Structure 1
Amino acid sequence: MASNAQKYDITVFIPTYFGEDYLDDLLKMVFKQQIDKTYEVLIYDTSSTDKTPKIIKKYAKKHANLRYKTITKEEYGHGKTRAAAAHDAKGDIVVYLSQDATPAHKYWLYEMTKPFELSDRIIGVMGKQDPRPTTFPLLKREIMGVFNGFGPDFGTTLFYKDSFIKKQETYDKVAFYSDVNSAARRSYLTGELPYQDVPYAEDQLFGRDVINAGYMKAYASRGNVLHSNEFKLREYKMRMFDETMGLRRVGIDVPLPTISQITKMVIIGWIRDTLFTLRDKQYSRKRKLFYLVLNVFYNIEKWRGVRRAVLTKLDDHTAIDKYSLEHVEAKSKS
């Protein structure tokens, strides 16, 4: 444990909950970072009963700049936990990292924090996410498409609000933010622009708050991590339900897709995923055959989840608990 008087340039915050799958590799890479600034690692574990606490303690014994504490499920919230970590942090910059987002190289932390030196107006930085090699085609293709759209891999891109933004679609892209791999100035997180206490989509709200306040956010393509999830078909539908409900809960409108629209999007998605599968060199022959069969069903389940979420009333907690992957997983781990 670090001394209470110790100050750092950077705090890397990692919230954990049954994170044994990737946490060891993640922490190994975090402590390999090459940077001429001081940093600490702060972990809040939500009462995990798998190997997560053991992994955390192993690294805490090796590294004096790792602090951790255990919180209850009742204490945890996507927004409020990140806000609490900002107040607890001893660094001027707080870097947020999900428990399954593994830094891709030893200069990740340098790249994530370098943009703050460019301008005092830059409040938040979003890093690139690269899908893991075996991720199913629909998700793998979407992750690559989303982040490739924010800028080239060889530089940093800045986003801000001005008269150029005339359409909601443009604003949504400019304000887009993900705290799977992100960084922000602690002074703003604990002051003018705190994370809001919302159950989901806290990062999207933060991105909008930054842009609406007249500040800038940066996209650090070279601060990349490996991050993606393996979902079973039923799980993917429920995940899309969670994501869509999360957006609706914070006031972001999601239009109801009609059956004909869904049919069209499923067919287009299936064709794209089939071509993507055949061309992808990271898939083994066996995995390619597996995905060629399941691609169409992943596309169907995606839009079933979105449509169900749009049709569900925001105060229908019985339905939300039934269709929410996050709720089902939390219940199974309790």
Structure 2
Amino acid sequence: MPTVSVIIPTYCASRYLEPLIHALRTQTCPPDEIIIIDSSSSDGTAEQARALGCQVMIIPKHEFNHGGTRNRAAKAAKGDILVFMTQDALPTDEHFISRLIQPIVEGVASAAYARQTTPEDANPLEAFARQFNYPLQSHTKSRADIRRLGVKAYFFSDAASAIRRDIFWAVGGFADWVVVNEDMILCARLLQADHVIAYVAEAAVFHAHNYTLAQTFRRYFDIGVFMHQSREILIGAKSGGEGMRFARQQFQHLWQQRKYGAATRSILESGLKWVAFQIGKRSEYLPRRLNRYLSAQKAYWNAQSQR
């Protein structure tokens, strides 16, 4: 059986850490090591992680970078398979790791990502988003699927994913030059190197974000920035049609469920996302200070200003 390293970037994660580490330790296929890379949390995250038996790395908060930070932790990992998670993703059962890595162990795929579902307190819009992006049916995708799937071919989430360590480094690891969505670049690199990626619906985590409208704007501004940054890598990734399909189906679903308030909010959110996305795509024409204000990733723009 291959060895497994779990890698989790953290920041002020004390309320998540104990249940997450317990869930990982009690897996039917427990990890051989858990590496926490913490951005100098002020709530005792690093100390708590050490007490829970994790290997802990600490970096200055201003050095955090979605891709670069994960790469730094991956360099310290010894496992044959790297499992990347976020601090707020919680396995739904004890079979999460074994099911997630199964396609890799069997040689069916080089990387895999898990289904994300919402806890009971998630808002209806977020619940639909997870259902839309994470169906109940598992599947695989390869380079041959890019033309058919468009931007969805590059969908991959390092909130709960696994990859062979040798292949991770062979394709260059995570991109450290993008503001967000480093996992999509990894997916693109894998597909373009003729690797197969598995979506494993049977491996699931609870993961949700109940964003405010301001947080939603900042998130989609960053996605717009990313789509412009990666336009030469994400071949055939036109996102407009997929976004419209999501907005339409979300509204219809909520209306049919008689959640009229949520349905109305979905219209507002969809418009807000579109505006933020379009501004983000044109961020190169904006002052860096304004980009920093509009973005959720302040450390990224601070680093840009120092270059």
CA distance in 2, matches of 1:80, 1:17: 15
Distance 1:266 1:68, change over 3 A: closer
CA distance in 1, matches of 2:183, 2:288: 23
2:222 corresponds to which of 239, 242, 246:
242
Q: Is the contact between residue 109 and residue 223 of structure 1 (CA under 8 Å) also seen in structure 2? A: yes
CA shift at 1:16, angstroms? 0.2
2:7 corresponds to which of 5, 13, 34:
13
2:28 corresponds to which of 10, 31, 34:
34
Q: Is the contact between residue 122 and residue 215 of structure 1 (CA under 8 Å) also seen in structure 2? A: yes
CA distance in 1, matches of 2:120, 2:300: 24
CA distance in 2, matches of 1:265, 1:9: 38
Give the alignment of 1:75-154 within 5 angstroms: 75-119=63-107, 122-148=109-135, 152=137
Q: Is the contact between residue 86 and residue 190 of structure 1 (CA under 8 Å) also seen in structure 2? A: no
SS in 2 for 1:91: coil
CA distance in 1, matches of 2:65, 2:4: 23
Q: Is the contact between residue 269 and residue 299 of structure 1 (CA under 8 Å) also seen in structure 2? A: no
CA distance in 1, matches of 2:95, 2:22: 13
1:46 corresponds to which of 36, 39, 46:
39
Q: Is the contact between residue 131 and residue 143 of structure 1 (CA under 8 Å) also seen in structure 2? A: yes
CA shift at 1:313, angstroms? 2.6
SS in 2 for 1:33: coil
Look up the equivalent residue of 1:222 and give its one-letter code.
E
Distance 1:277 1:306, change over 3 A: farther
Q: Is the contact between residue 64 and residue 299 of structure 2 (CA under 8 Å) also seen in structure 1? A: no
Q: 5+ unaligned residues in a row in structure 1: which ranges?
A: 1-7, 61-65, 279-287
CA shift at 1:303, angstroms? 2.7
Look up the equivalent residue of 1:220 and give its one-letter code.
V
Larger Rg: 1
Q: Is the contact between residue 25 and residue 31 of structure 2 (CA under 8 Å) also seen in structure 1? A: no
State the match for 1:274 in structure 2. Answer: 255
More helix by share: 2
CA shift at 1:328, angstroms? 9.0
Q: Is the contact between residue 47 and residue 70 of structure 1 (CA under 8 Å) also seen in structure 2? A: yes
Look up the equivalent residue of 1:309 and give its one-letter code.
G
Number of matched pairs:
295
Distance 1:268 1:115, change over 3 A: closer
1:74 corresponds to which of 47, 62, 86:
62
CA distance in 2, matches of 1:320, 1:330: 7
Q: Is the contact between residue 103 and residue 225 of structure 1 (CA under 8 Å) also seen in structure 2? A: yes
Look up the equivalent residue of 1:195 and give its one-letter code.
F
Measured against aligned partners, the alpha-carbon deviations of 1:51-103 in whole angstroms (never above 9, x if no partner) come to 4234323312xxxxx21121112332111122222221011100000111111
CA distance in 2, matches of 1:313, 1:67: 39
CA shift at 1:327, angstroms? 2.1
The two structures have a TM-score, normalised by structure 1, of: 0.78
Measured against aligned partners, the alpha-carbon deviations of 1:277-310 in whole angstroms (never above 9, x if no partner) come to 64xxxxxxxxx86x46744433333333223323
State the match for 1:202 in structure 2. Answer: 182
CA distance in 1, matches of 2:219, 2:11: 17
Give the alignment of 1:191-270 within 5 angstroms: 191-198=170-177, 199-251=179-231, 252=234, 269-270=250-251
- Using the aligned pairs only, state the percent identity: 21
CA shift at 1:266, angstroms? 6.6
The two structures have a TM-score, normalised by structure 2, of: 0.84
Q: Is the contact between residue 322 and residue 328 of structure 1 (CA under 8 Å) also seen in structure 2? A: no
The answer on 1:325 being equivalent to 2:296 is yes
Q: Is the contact between residue 256 and residue 310 of structure 1 (CA under 8 Å) also seen in structure 2? A: no
